[in-house]
Amino acid sequence: MNQLAVDRNATVGSMVEASSPDTVLVDEVLKDAITHLTELRQATLETAKLFRTGHEQQAKDLYLQVVTGLDLLVATLDCIWKVLDLKSDAVLGGMKPLSLLVEEFNSHLNTIVTAQQKKDWVFLSDLLEYELADHLNCWDKVINNLAKH
């Protein structure tokens, strides 16, 4: 994940929050969110690989970018929900209700933070690869479904 992509999404999220529900703008934000999710998922998997192969400093550096990317993703999703006036019980494309996806996402993040605090890099790698990356796939489906409508 490059810094340019992270900065671009921060700007796009700000644009959505400050604008009216303009479909062209929402479509662009959704497209950027899909790109951001792809980069974030790749960075998550690369971070796990670096931790597993003993490249701890590189892994920590990339992990910080992943955390920043997650913050931007959450902010962007929040803006999208507000602009589209989505309710927490909304179910998109046969997925779970948004409230449940958010709850599961927060649970994964809490477990990841605990592993990080304990400096359990093997467990953190597992969480990044098998939990977070899979959960990002769910968000990808939700955003793709929104982009189709």
Name the CA radius of gyration of the chain, rounded.
16
Tell me: pLDDT of 73 over 80.
yes
CA angle 142–94–81, rounded 5-degree value: 35
Query: Are the CB atoms for 69 and 43 separated by under 8 Å?
Result: yes
Mean of per-residue pLDDT scores for the chain: 83
Tell me: pLDDT of 136 over 90.
yes
Q: What's the half-sphere exposure (Cβ side, CA atoms, 13 Å) at 98?
A: 18
Distance CA 30, CA 34 (A): 6
pTM (predicted TM-score): 0.78
What the block records as the tokens of 2 is 């490059």
Burial class (CB in 10 A: 0-12, 13-18, 19+), 110: exposed
Q: So what's the pLDDT on residue 12? A: 43
What the block records as the tokens of 1 is 């994940």
Short-list 39, 42, 57, CA closest to 121: 57
Instruction: Band the pLDDT of 142: cuts 50, 70, 90.
Output: confident
Residue 104's identity, in one-letter code, is E
Please give the average per-residue pLDDT across 11-33, as a whole number: 67
CA angle 101–118–134, rounded 5-degree value: 25
Q: So what's the pLDDT on residue 82? A: 83
The predicted-structure confidence for 84-97, as pLDDT tens digits, reads as follows 887 777 766 567 78
